[in-house]
Amino acid sequence: MKKLIISFLSLALFAVTAQAQQPLPHWKKQGDATQLIVDGRPMILLAGELGNSSASSVGDIGRIFPKLRSMGLNTVLVPAYWDLIEAEEGKFDFSLVDEVIRQARQNELKVVLLWFGAWKNSMSCYAPLWFKKDCKKYPRCLTREGKPLEIASPFSENVFQADSRAFERLMRHVAETDSREHTVIMVQVENEIGMLEEARDCSEQADRLFAAPVPEALMEYLKDNKKTLHPWMLDRWQKAGGKTEGSWQEVFGPDIYTDEIFMAWHYAAYVERMIRKGREAYNLPMYVNAAMNSRGCKPGEYPAAGPLAHLIDVWRCAAPSVDLLAPDLYDSGFKNWTAQYRLPNNPLFIPEIRLESNDGVRAFYVFGEHDGIGFSPFSIEGAPDAPDYPLAKSYRVLSELMPLIVKYQGKGDMRGLLFDQQDKERTISWDKNTTLVCRHFFTLPWDARATDGSRWPEGGGLVIRLAEDEYIVAGSGIVVEFKHPDELSAQVSRQLGEDGFATAGGNETGKAVWNGGERIGLGPVDEVSVNPDGTLKYVRRFNGDQTHQGRHVRIGVDDFSILHVKLYRYE
C-alpha cells in the first residue's frame, strides 16, 4: 500500500512538473502560416469579446462565463480596466483580473486580456480620475484651434510612465498567478488607438516634431522594403518625389494624410515601448487592434493613425515587437479587409466583428482562406443562449475540425468560401486536372427563400484537399461541383429540379461540344465527425437527392456539417 501511495504521488508530481515545463504561449511557422502555440499545441481561437462594461464587476463575470462555454467558445477577450486597477495612484487592485482567470479556468476557457489604458477607441476614457484631473502633468492632444481633446498625448513622457507602470504591474501579476496554467494566452495593448477631430495632435511639441526630419529608421525601412510596401504608402511616397530625407511634408506631401502618417509613427513608437515594458514582466504574445477607415471618411473623421492597413508599414517599422495588427470589422468589405491584414509577417486575427447571424460562416472563411488564428464577435454575452444559434453551431463544427485545420494550415491545401447575393460563385483549381466550382446554396432554386425576394444569408465554409481525389467540405449554405477543366468549356446551362428533371419550358444557354477526355464523378460522399486525433468518424452516407444524383455536394443554409468526398474519373 505504501508503495502504491508513493507511486501515485510520483505520478502526480510528474504531471505538475510537466505542466510547469510547458513553454509560454508563442508563435511557430508552418509553411506559409503562423500558428499560436498554447501548452505545446497549435490553438485556434473560437472566441468572443465581452462588451466594454461586462467585466467590471465580479457578479457579471460569474454570470457570463458559463454561458460562453456552452456556446462553444474556447477563448474570451476581456478588458483590464486601468481606472479600476489603479483607482488611487500607486495602489493596484487586480481582483477583477483574478476573477476572470478563476472563472475562465472553471469553464475551460482561455483569456485574451485587453489593456484599456491610455486610449480606448481614441479617447482616454479608461484612464483613472487622478490622471484625468492633472492635465498639466498628463497633457492632452490639441486641435489646430488649441482645443484640448479627451486624448492623452503620446508625446508626453509622464503619460507613458503612468500608463506603462500600470501595464507592467498587470503583466507581473498575471505572471505571478498564471505562469503555470497559461489561462491568459495573449494581450492587446490599448484599444483602437487613433486621433479624432484632427488627423494629428497640434500641440507645440507635436508641431516641432512634425517640422523635424522624418526618422532615419522609417526612411531606411521604406527604401529596403520598396517592393513590398502597401500600394497606398508607396504611391504617397513616390508622388511626393520619392525623397530619402526631409520633413514629413517634404517626404509625404502637404495634406492631412501626412499628418496621419506622422501620428501613426508616434503612436506605434509609444506602443513599442509599452510592449517592451510588459514583456520584461511576462513575455506573452501581444497585438494591437484598429478601427477601420471605412464609410468614406477622412483622417480625424475615423480614428486616424491607428494600425490601419494603409499604415501597416509605419507600424511595422516603429513597433517591431507587435506580434500582429488586427482589424475590427463592423462595416462592409469583409473579404477585402481580411486580405489586407493576412500578410506573411502578420497572421490574421479578428478580435472584433459585429455580432450577427453571418458570423458563423465568416469564421469558416477566416480559417480556411487565410489560415487565421482566431475569430471573435463583439459583445458576445449578448448572443442568444440557444444551441441552434448560427455561431454556436459553427463553433461546434469548427472545434471538431481543429485537428485538420491546424494540420493543413500554411500548406496550400485549404481554401475558404464566402458567398452572398452579389458574390455567388468561386472557382478553385489545385492542379490541372481538378476544378471546384463553388456557389451559394441559393443558386439552387429549390429553397423558396432563394427566389421569394428574401435577402440571402451569407453562405460559407472551407475545403481541404486530403489527397488528389479526396476532400473535406465543411460549412453552411454552399454547393461544390468537381469538374475536369475540359468539362467547363462544354457545359450546357439548364435548370434542373432536385429530382434531375429539367424545369418545364427551361431554356438551354450555350452549346456543348464534347471532344472526349476525362470526367470527374462523385464516389462516396459521407457526413462525418472528426476525432481528436484527426481521424474521421462515419455519420451517414449522402447520395441520391442529397447529391443531386451525383452532380454536386451541398450543405443547406440552416445546417453546419462536415462532408468527406472521394472522387473517381471516367471517360
The pLDDT of residue 497 is: 61
Grid cell of 95 as nine digits: 481582483
pLDDT band at 18, cuts 50/70/90? Answer: very low
The pLDDT of residue 148 is: 97
% of the chain beyond a pLDDT of 70: 91
The pLDDT of residue 508 is: 52
Grid cell of 455 as nine digits: 435577402
206 within 8 A of 303, measured Cβ to Cβ: no
DSSP strand pairing (519-530 vs 536-542): antiparallel
pLDDT tens column, 519-532: 999 999 999 999 99
In this predicted structure, the answer to whether residue 7 has a pLDDT above a threshold of 80 is no
The pLDDT of residue 296 is: 86
In this predicted structure, the answer to whether residue 553 has a pLDDT above a threshold of 80 is yes
In this predicted structure, the answer to whether residue 110 has a pLDDT above a threshold of 50 is yes
Long-range contacts made by residues 484-492, C-beta under 8 angstroms, separation at least 24?
A: 484/433, 484/434, 484/435, 484/517, 484/518, 484/519, 484/520, 484/569, 485/429, 485/432, 485/433, 485/434, 485/435, 486/515, 486/517, 486/518, 487/517, 487/519, 487/520, 488/435, 488/437, 490/514, 490/515
Of the ranges 8-12, 122-126, 492-496, 500-504, the best mean pLDDT one: 122-126
117 within 8 A of 167, measured Cβ to Cβ: yes
Indicate the DSSP class of residue 443: G
The pLDDT of residue 498 is: 60
Residue with cell 477607441: 121
Residue type for position 5 = I
pLDDT tens column, 206-251: 999 999 999 999 999 999 999 999 999 999 999 999 999 999 999 9
Largest CA distance in the chain: 86
Q: Tell me the whole-structure pTM to 2 decimals.
A: 0.92
The pLDDT of residue 23 is: 95
295 within 8 A of 303, measured Cβ to Cβ: no
CA distances from 306 to 70, 194, 323 (A): 35, 5, 15
CA distances from 349 to 267, 303, 325 (A): 21, 20, 8
Q: How many residues does the chain have?
A: 571
Which of 121, 123, 54, 80 shows the shortest CA–CA distance to 379?
Answer: 54
In this predicted structure, the answer to whether residue 516 has a pLDDT above a threshold of 90 is no
The pLDDT of residue 327 is: 98
Within 8 A by CB and 6+ apart from 146, the residues are 202
CA distances from 48 to 64, 238, 299, 334, 412 (A): 12, 41, 29, 18, 28
DSSP characters over 131-174: HHH-TTTSPEEE-TT--EEEEE-TT-HHHHHHHHHHHHHHHHHH
Element containing residue 233 per DSSP (H, E):
helix 231-239
pLDDT band at 294, cuts 50/70/90? Answer: confident
Long-range contacts made by residues 489-492, C-beta under 8 angstroms, separation at least 24?
A: 490/514, 490/515
In this predicted structure, the answer to whether residue 492 has a pLDDT above a threshold of 60 is no
Domains along the chain?
38-121+162-199+264-407 (3.20.20.80), 415-570 (2.60.220.20)
- Rounded to an integer, the average pLDDT of 311-339 is 97
pLDDT tens column, 430-442: 989 999 999 999 9
pLDDT tens column, 335-385: 999 999 999 999 999 999 999 999 999 999 999 999 999 999 999 999 998
The pLDDT of residue 251 is: 98
Comparing 177-186, 406-415, 505-514, the range with the smallest average pLDDT is 505-514
